[in-house]
Amino acid sequence: MVNFRLDGHRVLVTGAGRGLGRAIADGLAELGATVYGTSRDAATAQQIGKRYGTPSLSVDMSEPDSILELVDKLQSHNPGIDMLVNNAGVNIPRPAIEVSSQEWDTVFDTNLKGTFFLSTALAKSWMETSSVGSIVNITSQAGIVGIEERAAYGASKAGLIHLTKILALEWAPNRIRVNAVAPTFIRTEMTESTLSRPEWAVELLSRIPIGRFGEPEDVVGAVAFLLSEAASLITGHNITIDGGYTIR
């Protein structure tokens, strides 16, 4: 069980100000990791820094220049980041026929493009110093099965699941592991607009064999496992945390 500890590791968690990101960051801190958390909002970033005793990190994940500034700031710390949780994400629930070009770009720029460029920037720094690295991407069951009103979101998460495999394949020789977890509907601010619709919530719940929606804490264990030495031979995998939603 010692292998599950993260003492001595420095982990970056994007979107750590609330909901799933905050729960993940708290859980990794409890396991001994030094947590660096980001937020798009500067005030929230300051609160995150105070919570974990690390620098305030404000970043817009949809902007590659903002991501590079973040990585430059992180590289000024010695030792630097050696683990990454790509949690920051955007969802704009909408029937497919109503999705605008701007909404599509908003979802993809954060969920897929931003994750890609942050991962590659950190991986490059790890390769330059021959460092071991571990990345966990937060995907979604919506990237595995079709869910109504999730055209842009589901497509971005499906892309992220496949991107996880490609990066894992390319970076394995550099001792950089890349994995993902795909949660079901987790009770957070992001899902509130969906789960607050009674008929929709009842329909979605009927698709989960275990019979309940997820809580942020349900995801923490899988993320910690994949980051840790306990998963040292695991790379390129996407673990579904869905209560059985994707069985069918």
Average pLDDT on 161-173 reads 98
Tokens of 193: 């607009």
pLDDT value of position 190: 84
For the chain, how are helix, strand and coil distributed in percent, rounded to 5?
A: 50, 15, 35
The reply to whether omega before 173 is within 30° of 0 (cis) is: no
Q: Is the pLDDT of residue 215 over 70?
A: yes
Average pLDDT on 140-157 reads 97
Determine whether 52 is an active site residue.
no
Are 212 and 243 in contact by the 8 Å Cβ rule? The answer is yes
Q: What is the pLDDT of residues 47-60, one digit of tens each?
A: 999 999 999 999 99
pLDDT value of position 1: 55
Average pLDDT on 80-97 reads 96
Query: Residue 3, Cβ neighbours under 10 Å: how many?
Result: 11
pLDDT value of position 210: 97
Could you tell me the domains of the chain? 2-243 (3.40.50.720)
34 contacts: CB under 8 Å, gap ≥ 6: 9, 10, 11, 52, 54
What is the Cβ-side half-sphere exposure of residue 92, based on CA atoms within 13 angstroms?
Answer: 16
Are 232 and 2 in contact by the 8 Å Cβ rule? The answer is no
Q: What is the pLDDT of residues 27-36, one digit of tens each?
A: 999 999 999 9
Listed range (8-17, 75-84, 121-130) with the worst mean pLDDT: 75-84
Banded model confidence at residue 192, pLDDT cuts 50, 70, 90: confident
Banded model confidence at residue 3, pLDDT cuts 50, 70, 90: confident
State how far the Cα of 108 lies from the Cα of 153, in Å rounded to an integer: 8
Give the residue from 45, 38, 55 showing the smallest Cα distance to 89. Answer: 38
Q: Kindly report the pTM of this predicted structure.
A: 0.96
Q: What are phi and psi of 150, to 5 degrees?
A: -130, 35
Q: Is the pLDDT of residue 2 over 70?
A: no
Tokens of 231: 């998963």
